[in-house]
A and B are shown apart, each in its own frame.
Chain A
């Protein structure tokens, strides 16, 4: 058998898994709405971002078939996260440390 015929089910999710992810995404949306009104001090945004990240992981793994994709795809995805972190963290390392030198904005 040729690879493309024998591996016909490669990378396929099932509708059951999709409905499960959909339900989880809706539940997490409700949780994030509820959490936004709680007084958590500085933790409101970290919690909201954690929930958003959890939702993203589910969408990527199941809806976008990352779970059953080649390792190379996972490396590419990891690269995007690394570079996004560079973009934000290195920029912040400038902006957030400016007040330390008392030449803010100059």
Chain B
């Protein structure tokens, strides 16, 4: 803690190569990165928040249409994807842990598992989207109002595609970041002293998981009690 000017001067000579000169030490640098990442995530909360607000308003206005349309979603696939995403958060947390230990092979192993799980999620999403196209439940000129439902069910599907689509886009970006991390990990960039990128991508990945934790009950479960 109390370093004094001597320690600082000493530091200037053999500072870690990952340490930018404007930070006192690695911990200060890591904390600044984490704070910046969290602030970015705050903007993401508000980004998704706009859609959640639209959802709340239209659901309050057209409750029956929303409940009926929601029951047309494939709950088995949705629940499976929820489990897959939670498992991917576990492997991501373990990758961050491995990064803190500087265990190169474990980092690569856990990051690869996270990518495979993220890919599984997106694959299932493709199957779900395809079903919607086949059943004419995609908003637009080919939309057919499901039998017995108010026409505002189209609004539910608009929000469903916007919200899950934006979420899926975040997953695709996340997988890209994970591939970049694997390349860096294999190069031996991450040590117990420096593993900030793994940590930051971890924060992002968990945030995307949290978005799904809310999307799942709001999109798939809202009308099940009416069945």
Using a CB–CB cutoff of 8 Å, the interface residues on chain A facing chain B are 2-5, 7-8, 10, 12-15, 18-19, 21-22, 25-26, 29, 32-33, 36-40, 44-45, 48-49, 51-52, 55-56, 59-60, 62-64, 69-70, 72-73, 76-77, 79-81, 83-84, 87-88, 91-92, 95-96
Are A33 and B35 neighbours in the complex by a CB distance under 8 Å? no
B145 close to A (CB within 8 Å):
no
Q: Which 3 A-B pairs have the closest CB atoms?
A: A48-B217, A36-B221, A80-B42
Cα of A76 to Cα of B42 in the assembled complex, Å: 7
CB-based contact B93/A7 at 8 Å? no
- B interface list, Cβ under 8 A from A: 1, 3, 7, 11, 25-27, 31, 34-35, 38-39, 41-42, 45-46, 49-50, 52-53, 56-57, 60-61, 75, 79, 82-83, 86-87, 89-90, 92-94, 97, 100, 192-193, 202-203, 206-207, 209-210, 213-214, 216-218, 221-222, 224-225, 227
Name A's interface SS: helix
Nearest CB of A to B103, in Å: 12
Q: How many Å lie between the Cα of A37 and that of B214 in the bound state?
A: 17
In the bound complex, CA of A5 to CA of B15 (Å):
12
Question: With contacts A87-B49, A88-B49, A91-B57 known, is A13 near B213, CB below 8 A?
Answer: no
For the complex, give the distance between the alpha carbons of A52 and B209 in Å.
11
Find chain A residues with CB under 8 A from B41 CB.
80
With A15-B94, A84-B46 given, is the CB distance from A33 to B209 under 8 Å? no
What is the chain B residue whose CB lies nearest that of A77? Answer: B38
Task: Please report whether the interface of chain B is mostly helix, strand, loop or mixed according to DSSP.
Answer: helix
Query: A95 near B57 (CB under 8 angstroms)?
Result: yes
- Bound state CA distance, A2 and B216, in angstroms? 46
Asked if residues A80 and B34 are in contact (CB atoms below 8 Å), the reply is: no
Decide: A73 and B46 in contact? CB cutoff 8 A: no
Contact A33 to B79, CB < 8 A, known contacts A12-B100, A88-B53, A88-B56: yes
How far is A31 from B3 in the complex, measured between Cα atoms in Å?
51
> Chain B residue with minimal CB distance to A22?
B90
* Closest chain A residue to B75, Cβ basis: A33
> Do residues B1 and A73 form an inter-chain contact, with CB atoms below 8 A?
no
- Chain B residues with CB under 8 Å of A19's CB are 90
Contact A55 B7 (CB under 8 A): no
User: Are A91 and B53 in contact, CB atoms less than 8 angstroms apart?
Assistant: yes
Q: Are B26 and A4 in contact (CB under 8 A)?
A: yes
Cβ-closest chain B residue relative to A85: B49
Given A13-B97, A59-B206, A95-B57, answer yes or no on A72-B35 (Cβ-Cβ < 8 Å).
Answer: yes
